[in-house]
Amino acid sequence: MVYAPDHRHYYDADSHIMELPDFLRAYADPDIRDEIPLVDYTASIVTDEEVAEIVSQGNRHSDEHREAQIALGDDLIAESKEIQGLGAFDSGDRTTAMDLLGFQKQLVFATHSVVTPFHPSSNYPLRLKYGGARAHNRHMAAFCADDDRLMGVGVVSLDDPGSAVDELEWAIDAGLEAIWVPHRAPIDSSPGHVDLEPFWARLAEAGVPFVIHVGGAPLHASKAWSNNGRAKTRDWMGGGENVRTKDAMLMHQNPEAFISMLIADGVFHRHPGLRGAAVELGAGWVPEMLRRLDSVARIFGRVDENMRFDRKPSEQLTEQMGFTPFPHEDVARLIGESNEDLYLFSSDYPHIEGGRDPIGKFEGHMASTSLDAQTKFFSENFLRLWPDARVGPGGSGRATPQTAA
């Protein structure tokens, strides 16, 4: 039994590896290996006991656990979550999971290992920041190497432009199919700074999209906003380490600022071949951002030459970007307030935030939209950004299962 219905294609713009503690160290250069921190699950719903048990079994699930997960069949996505998920850290198991999920392609992101390569401090050593990125990218390339349905996402910090270009070249040569950059200002500069022009130009030339994703910038609201003299609130899963109420209200601000700066500095305008996606950051903020950017360009373009374009900002982003709504967001409403070319399906497998039935959720929201709009959401908008990912002649037919031996 396969989760994804067979009446259309499903291209998944968000899934994850649940890294084991040595995820970076095992692939780091020998001269920095001992300085690379172990992947830490302290700020996670995964317990130390769960991780320790998997490590004690040789970095694998028990045969009994794997068999129970496989027996879930098309309920896999509803029940197989976090580090206990089938294929959460084992690439062979991930192939089996993909057979059960039935997605044509799936972007694969890290979960906890980006702390080292994305460290925001100017005092953090560049050799660890970019050495950590190289370790991550080696491991991600290896994880996705044996199943062409898995599209590995590399990581590159923008804090040092020269090092960023060097790591980008390595990631492209390694076959990684998207580059995750932190959606914060690089140290003391805009992401559209002239020194980063070679980075954006190389992405455009290579046809490799950049992505921004939750975890690429500070998640929580500043301590001042949260200090109201009352007891701390819990996050939506009952703990304290994930998104809390005030975080959810503000988490769109960093990605919106990052994208707006790329527009204001003319990055999309100068590089019409550049593609990108904002993933697991919601999309309810997108229609208003498009309206605001168009308004700013119209008004301030009179005096700011950088804001004079032959395409409106909304047109640039519609043609060059995609956005993944959360499962609770009404995609039909977002389309009505903007357009049907902007939004991408995602499952977030095996993260619990993806829900028990993301296809059902999104199809429910889109019941009143056209079949063309639904096809764009579940496949064609993804393929606009990653055209080489198309499966089957003309996009028809399902991906060939590649069950591990």
pLDDT in tens, 115-169: 999 999 999 999 999 999 999 999 999 999 999 999 999 999 999 999 999 999 9
Q: Is residue 402 part of a domain?
A: no
Which tens digit of pLDDT belongs to each residue from 315-344? 999 999 999 999 999 999 999 999 999 999
- Asked if residue 185 is part of any domain, the answer here is yes
- Measure the CA dihedral 113/50/26/208, to 10°: -40
* Dihedral pair phi/psi, residue 22, rounded to 5°: -95, 20
Residue 394 lies in a domain: no
264-286 mean pLDDT: 97
Provide the token pair at 336.
């009505």
Residue 378 near residue 103, CB atoms below 8 Å = no
Tens of pLDDT, residues 103-115 = 999 999 999 999 9
Residues in CB range of 106: below 8 A, 6 or more apart? 11, 12, 15, 98, 149, 150, 151, 347, 349
**What are phi and psi for residue 122, nearest 5 degrees?**
-70, -15
Strands 210-213 and 105-109: unpaired
Q: What is the spatial distance between Cα 363 and Cα 214, in angstroms, rounded to a whole number?
A: 24
**Cis peptide, bond prior to residue 393, ω within 30 of zero:** no
Query: Does 395 map to a domain?
Result: no
CB 297, CB 337: distance < 8 Å? no
Q: How far is the C-alpha of 55 from the C-alpha of 58, rounded, in Å?
A: 5
Asked if the structure places residue 57 within a domain, the reply is: yes
Residue 238: its pLDDT value, please? Answer: 54
Which residue type, as a one-letter code, is found at position 73?
A: G
- What's the number of domains the chain is made of? 1
- Cβ contact 356:328 at 8 Å: no
pLDDT over 80 (residue 31) = yes
Residue 230 lies in a domain: no
Dihedral Cα 82, 85, 88, 94, nearest 10 deg: -150
Q: What is the mean pLDDT of the chain?
A: 92
Residue 398 has pLDDT above 50, yes or no: no
Q: What is the mean pLDDT of residues 359-370?
A: 97
Q: What pLDDT, on the 0 to 100 scale, is given for residue 393?
A: 52
Listed in sequence order, the residues at least 6 apart from 128 whose beta carbon sits closer than 8 Å to its beta carbon are 32, 35, 36, 116, 119
- Pairwise CA distance, residues 179 & 83, whole Å: 24
Over 50: is that where the pLDDT of 42 sits? yes
- Rounded CA separation 227/87 (Å): 40
- CA distances to 297, 323, 381 from 331, rounded to whole Å, are 27, 11, 14
Amino acid at 104: Q
Structural Rg of the chain based on CA atoms:
21
For the chain, the maximum distance between any two Cα atoms, rounded to a whole number of angstroms, is 67
Which regions of 140-285 does DSSP assign to beta strands (E)? 150-155, 178-180, 210-213, 276-279
Q: How large is the average pLDDT for residues 47-56?
A: 94
State whether residue 168 is helix, strand or coil. Answer: helix
Return the beta strands (E) in 296-391 as ranges: 321-323
CATH number of the domain encompassing residue 30: 3.20.20.140
First to last CA, the chain: 19
pLDDT at 403: 37
Q: Residue length, the chain?
A: 405
Structural contact between residues 346 and 324, judged by C-beta atoms closer than 8 angstroms = yes
Q: How many CA atoms lie within 13 A of 82 on its CB side?
A: 10
Query: Is 293 inside any structural domain?
Result: yes
Give residue 251's pLDDT band: very low, low, confident or very high (50, 70, 90).
confident
Angle at 323 between CA 322 and CA 324, to 5 degrees: 130
Which segment of 144-148, 241-245, 286-290, 353-357 scores lowest on mean pLDDT?
Answer: 241-245
Structure tokens at 260: 């707006």
Query: pLDDT tens for residues 71-99?
Result: 999 999 999 999 999 999 999 999 999 99
284: helix, strand or coil: coil
pLDDT at 395 over 50: no
The boundaries of the domain holding residue 112 are: 11-225+239-386
User: Is residue 244 over pLDDT 80?
Assistant: no
Residue 399 pLDDT grade (very low, low, confident, very high; cuts 50, 70, 90): very low
Q: Does residue 400 carry a pLDDT above 60?
A: no
pLDDT over 90 percentage in the chain: 83
Handedness of CA 134, 136, 139, 143 (dihedral sign): negative
Q: For the purposes of burial, counting CB atoms within 10 Å of the CB of 114, is it exposed (0-12), middle (13-18) or buried (19 or more)?
A: buried
Residue 310 has pLDDT above 90, yes or no: yes
279, part of any domain: yes
Q: What is the pLDDT of residues 191-240, one digit of tens each?
A: 999 999 999 999 999 999 999 999 888 766 677 777 788 877 766 555 55
